[in-house]
Amino acid sequence: MTMMTPPPLEQQEDEEILVPHQELTEGPQPMEVLSAETANALESQQVEDPPTFKYRWTIENFSRLNAKKLYSDIFYVGGYKWRVLIFPKGNNVDHLSMYLDVADSATLPYGWSRYAQFALAIVNQVHGKYTIRKDTQHQFNGRESDWGFTSFMSLSELYDPSRGYLVNDTCVIDAEVTVRKVIDYWSYDSKKETGYVGLKNQGATCYMNSLLQTLYHIPYFRKAVYHMPTTENDMPSGSIPLALQSLFYKLQYSDNSVATKELTKSFGWDTYDSFMQHDVQELNRVLCEKLEDKMKGTVVEGTIQHLFEGHHMNYIECINVDYKSTRKESFYDLQLDVKGCRDVYSSFDKYVEVERLEGDNKYQAENHGLQDAKKGVLFIDFPPVLQLQLKRFEYDFMRDTMVKINDRYEFPLQLDLDRDNGKYLSPDADRRVRNLYTLHSVLVHSGGVHGGHYYAFIRPTLSDQWFKFDDERVTKEDAKKALEEQYGGEEELPQTNPGFNNSPFKFTKYSNAYMLVYIRESDKEKIMCDVDEKDIAEHLRIRLKKEQEEKEHKKKEKAEAHLYTIIKVARNEDLIEQIGKEMFFDLVDHDKVRAFRIQKQLPFNHFKEDVFKEFGIPVQFQRFWLWAKRQNHTYRPNRPLTPQEEAQSVGQLREVSNKTHNAELKLLLEVEIGPDLHFLPPPAKTKEDILLFFKVYDPEKENLRFVGRLFVKALGKPTEILSKLNELAEFPPNEEIDLYEEIKFEPNVMCEHIDMRMSFKSSQLEDGDIICYQKSLTSANRSQFRYPDVPSFLEYVRNRQVVHFRSLEKPKEEDFSLELSKLFTYDDVVERVARQLGVDDSSKIRLTSHNCYSQQPKPQPIKYRGVDHLLDMLVHYNQVTSDILYYEILDIPLPELQGLKTLKVAFHHATKEEVAIHTIRLPKNSTVADVINDLKTKVELSRPDAEVRLLEVFYHKIYKIFPPGEKIENINDQYWTLRAEEIPEEEKSLGLHDRMIHVYHFTRDSNQNQMQVQNFGEPFFLVIKEGETLADIKIRIQTKLQVPDDEFSKWKFAFISLGRPEYLQDSDIVSNRFQRRDIYGAWEQYLGLEHSDTAPKKAYTTNQNRHTFEKPVKIYN
C-alpha cells in the first residue's frame, strides 16, 4: 500500500520508511511512506516469467569508507541499467541507507518510466539465516529515479564485527531485481478482468485482507454471515455482524475495491491498530471466536463449529500394564511443523508421532505407579473446512528472537487424510466419512519476521482457475503460481554479472505459503452453495443502496467542482466561539465556519439572498470584507467589497480575491446591531476609519476572549475609546487598562505595548489589526500571576507542549502527561518530572528522547544539561517533533553517574552451578583490573586467593580475554555478555607444549538443506597437552561438566574450523588439529561437543538491546 502521509507515531519499529534517496537536509522533505508490507503491485499480466537478476556487491575496507554515498557497478535487468546506492554512515539517520537506482536516469528521454519489484539484503557472513533482507516495489521515473530504505539497519549492529555483517571489514550486499511490464494501475479493472474485486489496504492490513477474501469465498460462511440478525438502527462501526455483512455485500456486488475501515472500527481498533501488522492465524481465531459468540441464540448458531471444528484424542497408554488415559479436544485449525518436514503428509506423520515415556521420564499411572508408556495424538474427526497453519515462524533460542522458516515445503492439490489405512485416525473415528480434501486457498507471506506482505491465491469455485487477491488488485493466475512457487526453499541462479565470479549461488525464496484451506470433497456441494440477494436482509440492501447513491452524489460533486466556488463566511459569532477555546492567535479558523457551495456564474448579490436565508440578516444590512494573508503569515480582514465587486459573478470575485487559484472565497460578514437589537445599515467607511478587533485577557483565569470590533479614527487616540473598551470587557467605567497589539506568532510571538497617548495612525494600526487589553497591574500585583500580561500569556500559549512520559522499562505504556513550555530549560523539565514522580532529588531523573521513525527510545539517553530547552529534547533530526519522552529514576545523581562507566558482569562460580549478574560502576578511566577487584568484594570465591578474569562472550563463543590494564571506557556490553570467572589452576602453569583451546557446545541444524552448526550453552577454555588423545580429554571434560555416563556416551566430539566440523575418534591426537595460526579469530577454531540442548533457558540476560514490542490482536466489541 502507498500513502502520501506518514503513518501515525505509534507504528511498530519494523514498518520501514521508504523514500527516494534525496539527502535529508534542513527543512521538511517530500517523502512517500510505505509500511514494511510493500505497495500494491502493478503486476504484469504476461504469462511468461518477467526478467529477474540477482546481483552481489562485495565491499572491502567498509569501515574505512569516507564517501557519504557509494554506488555499485552497473548491472542489467530487463534491458535496463541498474545499480545499488548506499550511504555507509546513514543518510542523516543512525541507520545504513540503501536504495536501488536507475543508473542512466540522467540520459533517459522525458517521461520515461519503468517498474520493478526488488529486494535488498545485507548478508550475514557467519549465520546466513540472520541475513537482513527487505522487499519493496516502485515505478521509477524522472522525479524518483531511486527508491529504497533510509533506515535499512542500525549502524551499531552493522559495524559490530561480532554480529557477522562485517567480516574482515568486508560487507556483502545482495540485490534481487524483477522488472515487470508497466500496466497503468488506475486503468486496470479487477472486476472486468476477473469478476472479483479487492480490498483496500488501511496501512498494514494486507494480513487481514487475505484472510477476509478467503472467508468470503467460502459461500456457506458468507451465507451464515448474511443471516446473522441485524437491524436498520445498527451502525456498522459498532456492530461486527453488520460491518461484515456490509463488507461481503460490497465484495459481491461492487465494481470497485472495498474499504475495510467500518469493519476495523467495529473491532474497536484505532488507526494505530490498523498500522500494526499482526498474525493471520491470531486474527482468524479471534474473529471466529467473536462471530461464534455473536451467532449464539440466532438461526445461524453453531455455524463456525460446523464449518471449522474438528476433534483429536490425546492418549497415554502403558506398555506393561492395562492402563490407558485419553482426552478429547477440539480444534478450529491445525498448526503443522515446517522445519524438518518436506510436505503436509510428513507434518501429519510428525503430529501423530508416538513418544516413548521411559527411564527418567516414566508415566505416573493411576494405581500402577511409574510405568513405561507411549504418548500421542490421533484424530477423531476432521472438519468440512480444514485450516492448516504452517509454522513458518519459530523462536530461535540462540538468538533470543523469532525467525522465519523459509524451507521448501510442499502441499498437494488433493489431500488424503485416510491414507495408509487411516493411520491418522483414532479407533473411535467414523470410518464411513471419506477424508479426501481439495485445496481451496493458499495464503502467502512475502518478507521476513518483522514485516512483509500477505496475499492469497484462491479457487472461488474450485475450478482449475486460480485468482490472486493482493489487496485492491485481483488477477488470474495459473496453478504453478499458486502451488509450486509458494513451496519456499532455495533457488539457484548462475551469476552472469561481468567482472564477478560466475559460480552459481543460492537465494532463499522469501515468499511462501503460510496458511492452507482445504474443503472436504463429500461436503463440497453444501459448502460451495449459491448465495444471492434473497440471503441478504432488506434493511441491509436499502442501507447499502443509499450509501451507493451518496457515493455517486459525492462523485458528481467532485466532477462538477470546477463549476462552483466555496464561500466561507466568518461572523462575530464564530470569533466569540473560537477565540480562547480552539485558538488564541489571529481571528478565526476558516475550516470551522459556514461554507456555501455557489455556482461561479451566479451574481454575488444572489449569494447575499442565500446568506439571508441561512442567517436571517436582510441583504441591505450585510457588508462583506475580503481577507488577506500578510507578509508576517497572519490572516486578517483587509477591505470591504465595493458595490462594483458585489455586482460581479461569484467566479470573477473569487479570481480577484484569490491569487492561489483555489476554489474558495473567504469573507467576513460585518453586521451592525443597534441598542434595541435591530439591524442597522453598515456605517460609511472612509480612509480615516480603521476597523480594529479586540480581545480581553484575564491573568487570574489565564483566559483570552474576543469582545468585539470597533471603527476608530486614524488620528484618534486609545484614550478616546477607553470607556467603550471597558464596557465591552464589562469592566468598571474608569478602570485603567493596558493595550497591546498582537502582531504575529510565527516563528516567534510578537505582541507590543501600545502608547495610549499616540494616535492609532502613529502606532501603525490599520484595518484588521488586533488589540489585546487587560486591567493594569501594579508591580506588586504582577507577582501573583504565572502570566501577568498579554505578551507573557501568548508566549506561553505559543510554546506550551503536552509531553507524554513513559518509563524506559515499559516504553510502550504511557505513564503520565505534563503540560510544559518548549522554552523550559533542562532543569525545569526534570524538576517537573521529579515532582510528578515524588522524587526529592531531580538530578536522579534521566530522560531519553523518542525516535519518531522506529517508535522506540533513542539508544543514548540525554546527558545532564546536555540540551538547552525542552524543544531540543523533542526534535528528531531537525525535522520531526515528538511529544514523547522516557524517564528513569537513578539510584545516584546523573552528573555522578555520567562520570562513571556502568558494566553488567555475569559471574560464573567455580564450583556451584550458578550465575550472578552484578552491576559494576567505576570511574571511566578505570581498568579491567579495577572491575575484577570491585567484583571480588561482591562475590563468593572458591578460595580467598583465587584469580579472576573477564571474558567477552557472544552467541556462546568466547571472543576475548580482557587484559587487566585495558581501560573500561571503551568496553561495550550492549551486544555481548561480559563474563567473569576464576582462572583454573591448570591454566596458570602451562607447559612449553601445552595449549589452551576453546571448547563449545553445538548441535547440527538442518537449515535450508544444509546441516549448520548451532552453538549453545556456556563456552569454556581447556588446556590440552602434546600427544593427548581425545579419550584422555573426554575424561577431563566429563569430570569438569559432571555429565552422567549414559548421557555422555551419546556425545560426539569434533574439531571445528570456520563452522565446518571434522569428527574425532578416541585415538586422535587432539593437539595436532590446533596448529593453524592464520585464521580470523581464535573463536572460529574450537573443540566442539555435539549433543542435544536439554538445559532449561536461564532466566537472565545481560544484553542491553532495546526490544521492539508488538501488540496482540484484540477485537474489543
Catalytic residues: 206, 453
Kindly state the cell numbers that stand for 484: 509450486
Closest CA to 230 of 266, 254, 199: 266
Extended beta strands in 8-160, E state: 18-19, 52-59, 70-71, 75-77, 80-87, 95-102, 113-122, 132-141, 146-154
| Residues 242, 258: Cα–Cα separation, whole Å | 15
| Residues 343, 487: Cα–Cα separation, whole Å | 9
Q: Scanning the structure block, which residue is given the C-alpha cell 484424530?
A: 379
Cα atoms in the 13 Å half-sphere on the side-chain side of 923 = 2
| Residues 705, 576: Cα–Cα separation, whole Å | 7
Helix axes 240-253, 538-559, angle to 10 degrees: 60
Helix (H) or strand (E) holding 652: helix 650-657
Closest CA to 478 of 454, 457, 455: 457
Helix axes 604-615, 650-657, angle to 10 degrees: 90
Kindly state the cell numbers that stand for 1011: 546441516
| Residue 544: other Cβ atoms inside 10 A | 18
DSSP 420: H
| Residues 987, 977: Cα–Cα separation, whole Å | 22
Strand partners, 454: 445
Query: Residue 402: helix, strand or coil by DSSP?
Result: strand
Burial profile 630-662: b = 16 or more Cβ within 10 angstroms, e = fewer: eeeebbbbbebbeeebbebbbbbbbeebbeeee
Closest CA to 512 of 569, 596, 444: 444
- Nearest 5°: CA angle at 416, between 411 and 419? 120
Distance between alpha carbon 782 and the CA centroid of its chain, in Å? 49
| Residues 854, 1105: Cα–Cα separation, whole Å | 14
Q: Scanning the structure block, which residue is given the C-alpha cell 587432539?
A: 1070
Burial of residue 693, with CB atoms counted within 10 A of its CB: 0-12 exposed, 13-18 middle, 19 or more buried: buried
Residue 1009 — left, alpha, or beta (φ > 0 → left; ψ -120 to 50 → alpha)? left
| Residue 223: other Cβ atoms inside 10 A | 18
Closest CA to 168 of 975, 1079, 976: 1079
Query: Do you find a cis peptide bond into 747, omega within 30 degrees of 0?
Result: yes
Query: Residue 572: helix, strand or coil by DSSP?
Result: helix
Sequence length of the chain is 1117
Helix (H) or strand (E) holding 419: helix 419-422
CB 197 within 8 A of CB 258: yes
| Residues 965, 971: Cα–Cα separation, whole Å | 13
Q: How far lies 461's CA from each of 433, 623, 717, in Å?
A: 23, 68, 85
| Residues 608, 622: Cα–Cα separation, whole Å | 8
Q: Scanning the structure block, which residue is given the C-alpha cell 560464573?
A: 908
| Residues 1007, 562: Cα–Cα separation, whole Å | 62
